[in-house]
Structure 1
Amino acid sequence: MHDHSPAPASWRIALPHSAAAVPVARALVRDALAELEHTADGDTAELLTAELVANAVEHTSGRTPIELVVELMPTGCQVEVHDPDPSPPADLTRPDLEPPDPWREDGRGLLLIRALSSSCGHRPTEAGKAVWFRLPAVPAQRRPPA
């Protein structure tokens, strides 16, 4: 007998400061969404999480682990990546003064996140910063049958 009351759930996991963190983060998000039969778009969540984690690994120095926080709410999910660098991510909140160059590797991921998430941003933390995005829950009738 399963109780399907939509209690919020959250996962918090430390990831290595290396490219190996990306597939681990993707798997965690996939498992988190699947476990609760959660209705947010798992493919989009995985893609955006991979971008955030890759960004954190690439643009912060040192060996301090980065942290992935996944929160599931009845209205959708929020994913945060914590890293030790306090400076904000360049492309996430900057107004589009000039169109981004799609061939520039570093700008693409954050543009993708801005385009595909319902909201995104960053905030300072005691140890550095957290960059986050939210995805809305997809109505059940729009979901492909499992």
Structure 2
Amino acid sequence: MNGTALQERPSASASWRIALPHSAAAVPVARALVRTALADLEHGADCDTAELLTAELVANAVEHTAGDSPIELVVELLPHGCQVEVHDPDPAPPGDLTRPHGGEPDPWQEHGRGLLLIRALSSSCGHRPTESGKAVWFRLPVVPPQWRPA
């Protein structure tokens, strides 16, 4: 599906699904969609963290999958938090998403910290097979009002 689709659900839930190009141009579009989704609904999840982790998932999908098939971003806002999924055509699971690889990333390398960030900053994360490849996801909880910036 091209473009955004908003579906209102009971309990102030909403979801968006958008096809993104299989290129680096997808990253800023995905970041903007997540930020807009959380801000427009005044959702309690941390916008900055959601935006950062979304950028990591989209960048990984673009970098580590072959071809030019679009990737898909799914954002689901729930009363208890949010879940972000990135669907790509490669069925191979992402390396080291749910467990550390056994060493610290090299501080001089530009790559190698994305999955570490997702593991460290999300309340949970994982992947699942889909009909056309896989979905990699993370969840963030609602931040209590007293912990939110003014």
The DSSP-based 3-state class of the residue aligned with 1:105 is coil
Q: Partner of 2:95 in structure 1? A: 90
Q: Distance in 1 between matches of 2:132 and 2:64?
A: 16
Q: Distance in 2 between matches of 1:83 and 1:58?
A: 11
**Richer in helix (by share):** 1
1:110 is aligned, of 111, 115, 123, to 115
When structure 1 is superposed on structure 2, of 59-68 and 85-94 the one drifting more is 85-94
Name the aligned partner's letter for residue 132 of structure 1: W
The answer to whether the 8 Å contact 1:30/1:42 transfers is yes
Q: Distance in 2 between matches of 1:128 and 1:101?
A: 30
Q: Partner of 1:127 in structure 2? A: 132
User: After the TM superposition, which parts of structure 1 deviate over 2 Å for at least 4 consecutive aligned residues?
Assistant: 93-106
The answer to whether the 8 Å contact 2:34/2:47 transfers is yes
1:65 paired to 2:70 = yes
The DSSP-based 3-state class of the residue aligned with 1:70 is strand
What does 1:1-12 align with in structure 2 at a 5 Å threshold?
A: 6-12=11-17
**Post-superposition CA distance 1:65-92 (Å, at most 9, x none):** 0000000001110000000001011121
Q: Distance in 2 between matches of 1:76 and 1:132?
A: 13
Name the aligned partner's letter for residue 86 of structure 1: P
Q: Partner of 1:49 in structure 2? A: 54
The aligned length equals 141
The DSSP-based 3-state class of the residue aligned with 1:90 is coil
Q: TM-score, normalised by structure 2?
A: 0.89
Name the aligned partner's letter for residue 120 of structure 1: C
Q: TM-score, normalised by structure 1?
A: 0.91
1:18 is aligned, of 23, 32, 35, to 23
Structural RMSD (CA):
1.4
The DSSP-based 3-state class of the residue aligned with 1:19 is coil
Q: Give 5+ residue unaligned stretches, structure 2.
A: 1-9
1:39 is aligned, of 44, 51, 55, to 44
Q: Distance in 1 between matches of 2:124 and 2:99?
A: 14
Q: Distance in 1 between matches of 2:83 and 2:107?
A: 26
